[in-house]
Structure 1
Amino acid sequence: MAVPVFAPWTDPEEKPLIQFRNVTKRFGDFTAIEDLTLDIYAKEFFALLGPSGCGKTTLMRMLAGFENPTEGSILLSGQDISGVPPNIRPVNMMFQSYALFPHLSVWENIAFGLKRESKDKAQIHARVDEMLRLTRLEKFARRKPHQISGGQRQRVALARSLAKAPKLLLLDEPLGALDKKLRQDTQFELMDIQEKTGTTFVIVTHDQEEAMTVASRVAVMDEGKLIQVATPAEIYEQPNSVYVADFIGEVTILDGHGTRTDDGYDIAIGEGLPTLRAKTSHDLGAGGKMHLAIRPEKVAISAEKPTDRPNALQGKILDIAYLGNISTYHVELPGGTIVKAQEANTRRLSRRSFTWEDTVWLSWTDTAAVVLER
């Protein structure tokens, strides 16, 4: 039996767990968030993604109750939570530093919030043991934070945050302190725990790969505004602007002048270069200044001019980034434009097809690139 796709945002009957309604946040003369409206649904793993200073942490701090909106409202389960103190909200926040108590054991750290609620001992023991099992920390229960690894400390902080069964868990750059390999492993652990608990997670990150891996939807932000909110696949394959295309993953942006055709656009990118062909269902008008975004893995590289592809450009290899499983070729076109092409390294290095200064052909289909107006 097919597993139903989790996409409550596509169901008009589904009520959001979190609703930002025309929220603006100012600090003096500086506007950190500007007239922002956003819905986040129960059981989502939602990512706020953007460069430093884009407003994503301010958005999270307003959810946590550490800041209040200057204008607009924030609703949780239909109730306006503006002005509700952080300790009264059914919301928990996990900080990048983890903020564990160094003098308490792992078990006592997880139990801390439950003890403050004056729950009986049996309830506390049962809940802490459940959290230890969930985060695979049973054998570390009596250790102090300095006696366990960074990845284990991260799991202790997560277990403590989930112990009180919040409706919403906020994660502020939670994996920033971990090395790359451990960070990748922990991403999948986070996804697994989020799915098992059914808690709504909202994560703040500037790491595109992290957001694309863990999130059901991603909100790309810039200067206090939402630029695009969509699934990772849509953000990557159908960016709505040059900003989003350029921010997520590797891409080549070709600027040119587009002319409308029956099913897309012909785009002239420079004197002496062939006109490029791109199909699109989006109507960007009759034509004018346009941008073509093409991902390097969609660009084929060959010694001979291909005869079966509508887009083919000749250039010279300027640089090669060898990444083990793939190589990215930076190819310079006549006029100086650089186009990236990626190839899987199925051969040994000594048998690689192309090297620096080689003249090559780059080609792609008429559906591979995205036409963008802005």
Structure 2
Amino acid sequence: MAETKDHQAVFAPWEDPNEAPLIRFRGVTKKFGTFTAIHDVSLDIYRKEFFALLGPSGCGKTTLMRLLAGFETPTEGQIELDGHDIAPVPPNQRAVNMMFQSYALFPHLSVWENIAFGLKREGMAKDKIGDRVTEMLRLTRLEQFGRRKPHQISGGQRQRVALARSLAKAPKLLLLDEPLGALDKKLREETQFELMDIQEKTGTTFVIVTHDQEEAMTVASRVAVMDAGVLKQVATPSQIYENPNSVYVAGFIGDVTILQGRARKDGERYLVDWAEGQPPLVTHSGVEIGPGETCHYAIRPEKVEIHKDRPDDDNVLHGKVIDIGYLGNISTYHVELANGQIIRAQSFNTERSTRQAFTWEDEVWVNWTDRCGILLAG
């Protein structure tokens, strides 16, 4: 366990060299004919993690999950669960359960019977089944719905029934395949926090597959960003967002403006020459950029301030407001610079007003500090 400055324990087993992973992918490749769905993936996932596999459709995240579940076998490499090679273990004998997007509830069975189904198949004693189902109903706040059929409850409640059924057998690992995809935005956001609460209470390791960046960033202890069967970065949500390791990850996670240029050292800082007639951008970075090498500079809109008058600071650019996105709590301004580049800036709407601070065609200045941008090699 890592510790914060006030000595409170922080969950970060991946930082502890003495902590053994629950799941270990070792050089795993999966091919379907001539198509490589997963290429040489090595990855450790630890006990009690809520781990997210994130990426666009076709990136390989679902194939990784199916390999864990036993529905596919690796073409190359090895997958271990709790230190044991699981390749020869059939899906129904793995200490793994899977929750599908469709929930796959039995429509003719009650909520109670759906949760009990797997326990009965295992031959658990009736009194123990009753105790376990009651425990699962309490955990998922479904006590009053035990006698109802799936069609008599809401989508969010059906999602919790599927979760309760998946957890009833106390698996070491629960796989969640786009579990919230069928829910509307508000319910999905509420259910994300319910999932986090249940995962923390049970201590079960969760691995979720999602293409929803916000969902992954909300629920996960760590996120693996994938593209074309390759792991691009594995890190905590804050590290992925604030310190992406590539242009791909920076562009995939959240909203960002990415500029191409060439960086040169200026003492402890870099100066990035990115457009003729525009001042160089000033940044601090641990990334080493060689003289004359092409680089990319990423800046997120919430880091960018917008002003009517020119501020006295680094990274000050002049432009014109060409578009405005009003989202209630924030407004996003699209500012076009003289060279045609668009910079997005956000401001919080802290006062109750229907008037925007800036409007279309306004001449404005945007700026950010030298520690807000992200310098990326290549």
TM-score range, shorter chain: over 0.9
Give the distance between the partners of 1:15 and 1:295, measured in 2 at CA: 36
Equivalences for 1:273-288 in 2 at 5 Å? 273-288=278-293
Q: Secondary structure at the match of 1:361?
A: strand
Equivalences for 1:33-72 in 2 at 5 Å? 33-72=38-77
Give the distance between the partners of 1:259 and 1:209, measured in 2 at CA: 35
Question: 1:180-205, CA deviations, whole angstroms, 9 ceiling, x for partnerless residues?
Answer: 00000000000000000000000000
Deviation at 1:255, TM superposition (A): 1.1
- Contact 2:287–2:377 (8 Å) recurs in 1: no
Give the distance between the partners of 2:275 and 2:7, measured in 1 at CA: 49
Candidates 279, 303, 307, aligned match of 2:308: 303
2:30 aligned with 1:25? yes
Q: Secondary structure at the match of 1:100?
A: coil
Deviation at 1:346, TM superposition (A): 1.7
Give the distance between the partners of 1:207 and 1:189, measured in 2 at CA: 17
- Contact 1:65–1:83 (8 Å) recurs in 2: no
Structure 1 gap ranges (5+) = none
Candidates 155, 158, 161, aligned match of 1:156: 161
2:352 aligned with 1:343? no
Deviation at 1:287, TM superposition (A): 4.2
Give the distance between the partners of 2:52 and 2:232, measured in 1 at CA: 13
Indicate the residue corresponding to 2:334 in structure 1.
330
Q: Secondary structure at the match of 1:126?
A: helix
Q: Secondary structure at the match of 2:193?
A: helix
TM-score w.r.t. the length of structure 1 is 0.98
Deviation at 1:284, TM superposition (A): 2.5
Candidates 197, 200, 211, aligned match of 2:202: 197
User: Deviating runs (4+, > 4 A) in structure 1?
Assistant: none
Candidates 76, 85, 89, aligned match of 2:90: 85
Indicate the residue corresponding to 2:211 in structure 1.
206
Deviation at 1:2, TM superposition (A): 4.9
Indicate the residue corresponding to 1:292 in structure 2.
297
2:316 aligned with 1:312? yes
2:178 aligned with 1:173? yes
TM-score w.r.t. the length of structure 2 is 0.97
Candidates 188, 195, 214, aligned match of 2:193: 188
Structure 2 gap ranges (5+) = 1-5
Give the distance between the partners of 2:184 and 2:61, measured in 1 at CA: 23
Indicate the residue corresponding to 2:252 in structure 1.
247
Candidates 347, 361, 365, aligned match of 2:365: 361
Deviation at 1:260, TM superposition (A): 1.9
1:347 corresponds to which letter in structure 2? E
Give the distance between the partners of 1:2 and 1:144, measured in 2 at CA: 48
Identity %: 71
Deviation at 1:348, TM superposition (A): 3.7
- Contact 1:257–1:268 (8 Å) recurs in 2: yes
- Contact 1:264–1:281 (8 Å) recurs in 2: no
Deviation at 1:282, TM superposition (A): 2.2
The worse-fitting range, judged by mean Cα deviation, of 281-290 and 148-157 is: 281-290
Candidates 214, 221, 246, aligned match of 1:216: 221
Question: 1:163-192, CA deviations, whole angstroms, 9 ceiling, x for partnerless residues?
Answer: 000000000000000000000000000000
Deviation at 1:256, TM superposition (A): 1.1
Q: Secondary structure at the match of 2:64?
A: helix
Deviation at 1:268, TM superposition (A): 1.0
Deviation at 1:347, TM superposition (A): 2.9
Deviation at 1:363, TM superposition (A): 0.4
